[in-house]
């Protein structure tokens, strides 16, 4: 290839703290416009900010999770720019002395593991929101003003759009595992800006970059980077020059468009905020937070494979989301059967979640009930066929699997006499297939089993049906 794609990402993660970064206002999403505001986030004269301690602790958490250096002393700065939804005329952020620096993140975009270096993670407050779709006027909602963010900045180590998407998904997975953010891109809890450039293959110097904003899904991140890379290529191939600028991704048109000239750090006139003291993080806080870190996906998947004896692939799927992994482990605790629990969670449970666009925390069948259902199968009280019927009932019924089986008469038939009667009836009704089986077409056993199970409405003990059939067929 003539050119090499170079991408660096700036990810803004909105923290799920109860209150905002520098005042006591609620940080809850979705409230009526301008109701979660006070003199501090409205920037009224004389109002003074006070840093939310939870924001610092969350920053240390993600810094430790991403192998960053945690600064014992960091400074909050004013980032000066003018925009209608920024009432102070500046944004409280960090510049020369961020709280976290020089981390790493492992990704896999389908071509093996790759390490992506992090420049920094710093504390920042969000701006408000400009609303342009009510008549011809522009309205300002300052509910979001002051909501705490962490900005995670990578080095330009990404080389494909797939890697960029994998990196962003990894960031989302980590913040969700840590419990510091819901990582919802559609609601803006996780926002991503991409710095994109091309350079000649084999070159060491970076090309001129453009920044892309307004990408609200992993797929849009890929599409926007691919479009911008192609735009750069076309300009360079025609002898043109790339202009350093900020561009907006238009998902409807599938293209980027110019938004404004790219700002440089000196354009923002950063300086330490005189209203806020330096942030001090001692070793005691770091050690305490380190002990609170969860078991992360890779480690948890390895443990699942070793402890539960399930395939590595299954373990990987089950640990993508922390809540799914928790659900699986609780199901195993009740059922006593890890492989069956894995099959049910990866099969029926995830099918329903996908069909109904649900999160596992919204799923109506709690792990105790699913575990109880699986235990009934293991104890031979119901067949897998009946279990699936019970599962569908449980989606709409508060009763346990055992209660449903007893109430609806779904218990497995293990009466040898009853099974023998049905087997003989099926053999008598299918003399042609019986002769063919005895003539060497032994695959017809499946046909006879199916007929027997159908006649007994799935309630017969499958193993007993098999045994009786073999005895009669071979006799």
pLDDT above 70 for 265: no
Please state whether the predicted TM-score (pTM) of the whole model is above 0.85: no
CATH number at residue 445: 1.10.10.410
Coil, helix or strand for 152?
strand
Q: What is the pLDDT of residue 264?
A: 66
The DSSP code for 32 is P
Longest dimension (CA), the chain: 97
| 358 in Cβ contact with 369 (< 8 Å) | no
Q: What is the pLDDT of residue 263?
A: 64
- Residues 54 and 161 occupy one common structural domain: yes
Model pLDDT for residues 195-220, shown as the tens digit of each residue: 999 999 888 899 999 999 988 899 99
- Residues 37 and 179 occupy one common structural domain: yes
Domain span at residue 456? 416-474
DSSP for 259-319? EEEPP-GGGGT-EE-TTSPPEE--HHHHHHHHHHPPPPHHHHHHHHHHHH---HHHHHHHT
Q: What percent of the chain has pLDDT over 90?
A: 72
Q: What is the mean pLDDT of residues 55-66?
A: 97
Of 384, 407, 430, which one is at a domain's C-terminal end?
Answer: 407
- Residues 318 and 432 occupy one common structural domain: no
Of 221, 253, 287, which one is at a domain's C-terminal end?
Answer: 287
- Residues 320 and 185 occupy one common structural domain: no
The DSSP code for 433 is H
Coil, helix or strand for 370?
helix
Going by C-alpha positions, the residue among 276, 293, 359 that lies closest to residue 91 is 276
Q: What is the pLDDT of residue 316?
A: 94
pLDDT above 90 for 105: yes
- Residues 301 and 164 occupy one common structural domain: no
- Residues 44 and 150 occupy one common structural domain: yes
Number of domains in the chain: 3
Q: What is the mean pLDDT of residues 145-160?
A: 96
What is the pLDDT confidence band of residue 262, given thresholds at 50, 70 and 90? low
Sign of the alpha-carbon dihedral angle for 327, 332, 338, 343: negative
- Residues 451 and 396 occupy one common structural domain: no
pLDDT above 80 for 460: no
β-strand partners of 283: none
For residue 196, the Cα-to-chain-centroid distance in whole angstroms is: 24
* φ, ψ of residue 282 in degrees (nearest 5): -95, 170
- Residues 210 and 276 occupy one common structural domain: yes
pLDDT above 90 for 166: yes
Q: What is the pLDDT of residue 415?
A: 62
| 287 in Cβ contact with 58 (< 8 Å) | no
**Per-residue 3-state assignment (H helix, E strand, C coil) for 406-447:** HHCCCCCECCHHHHHHHHHHHHHHCHHHHHHHHCCCHHHHHH
- Residues 424 and 403 occupy one common structural domain: no
- Residues 97 and 21 occupy one common structural domain: yes
Task: Identify the residue whose tokens are 């499958």.
Answer: 462
β-strand partners of 158: 7
What is the pLDDT confidence band of residue 354, given thresholds at 50, 70 and 90? very high
- Residues 108 and 234 occupy one common structural domain: yes
- Residues 259 and 397 occupy one common structural domain: no
Q: What is the mean pLDDT of residues 31-43?
A: 94
Of 287, 310, 329, which one is at a domain's C-terminal end?
Answer: 287
Q: What is the mean pLDDT of residues 260-270?
A: 74
CA distance 50 to 155: 31
Q: What is the mean pLDDT of residues 261-274?
A: 80
**Lowest mean pLDDT segment, chosen from 44-48, 115-119, 427-431:** 427-431
Q: What is the pLDDT of residue 134?
A: 84
């Amino acid at each position: 290839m003539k050119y090499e794609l170079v991408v660096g990402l700036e990810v803004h993660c909105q923290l799920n703290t109860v209150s905002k970064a520098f005042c006591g206002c609620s940080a809850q999403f979705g409230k009526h416009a301008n109701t979660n505001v006070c003199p501090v986030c409205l920037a009224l004269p004389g109002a003074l900010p006070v840093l939310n301690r939870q924001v610092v602790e969350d920053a240390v958490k993600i810094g430790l999770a991403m192998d960053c250096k945690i600064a014992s002393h960091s400074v909050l700065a004013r980032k000066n720019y003018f925009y209608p939804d920024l009432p102070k005329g500046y944004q409280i952020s960090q510049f020369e002395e961020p709280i976290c620096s020089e981390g790493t993140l492992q990704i896999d975009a389908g071509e093996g593991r790759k390490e992506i270096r992090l420049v920094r993670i710093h504390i920042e407050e969000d701006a408000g929101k400009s609303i342009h779709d009510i008549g011809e006027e522009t309205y300002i909602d300052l509910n979001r003003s002051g909501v705490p963010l962490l900005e995670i900045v990578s080095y330009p180590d990404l080389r494909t759009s797939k890697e960029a998407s994998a990196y962003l998904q990894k960031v989302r997975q980590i913040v969700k595992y840590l419990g510091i953010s819901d990582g919802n891109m559609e609601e803006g809890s996780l926002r991503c800006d991409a710095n994109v450039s091309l350079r000649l293959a084999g070159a060491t110097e970076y090309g001129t970059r453009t920044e892309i904003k307004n990408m609200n899904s992993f797929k849009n991140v890929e599409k926007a980077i691919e479009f911008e890379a192609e735009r750069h290529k076309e300009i360079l191939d025609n002898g043109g020059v790339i202009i350093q600028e900020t561009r907006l991704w238009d998902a409807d048109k599938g293209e980027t468009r110019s938004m404004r000239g790219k700002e440089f750090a000196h354009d923002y006139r950063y300086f330490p905020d005189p209203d806020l003291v330096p942030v001090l993080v001692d070793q005691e806080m770091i050690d305490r937070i380190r002990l609170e870190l969860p078991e992360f996906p890779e480690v948890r998947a390895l443990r699942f494979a070793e402890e539960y004896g399930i395939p590595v692939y299954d373990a990987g799927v089950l640990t993508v989301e922390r809540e799914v992994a928790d659900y699986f482990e609780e199901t195993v605790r009740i059922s006593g059967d890890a492989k069956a629990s894995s099959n049910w969670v990866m099969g029926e449970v995830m099918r329903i979640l996908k069909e109904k666009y649900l999160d596992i925390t919204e799923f109506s069948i709690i792990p105790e009930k699913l575990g109880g259902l699986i235990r009934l199968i293991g104890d031979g009280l119901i067949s897998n066929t009946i279990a699936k019927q019970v599962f569908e009932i449980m989606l709409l019924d508060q009763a346990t699997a055992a209660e449903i089986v007893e109430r609806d008469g779904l218990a497995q038939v293990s009466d040898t006499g009853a099974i023998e009667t049905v087997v003989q009836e099926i053999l008598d009704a299918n003399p042609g297939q019986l002769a063919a089986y005895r003539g060497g077409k032994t695959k017809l056993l499946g046909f006879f089993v199916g007929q027997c199970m159908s006649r007994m409405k799935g309630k017969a003990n499958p193993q007993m049906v098999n045994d009786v059939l073999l005895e009669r067929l071979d006799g």
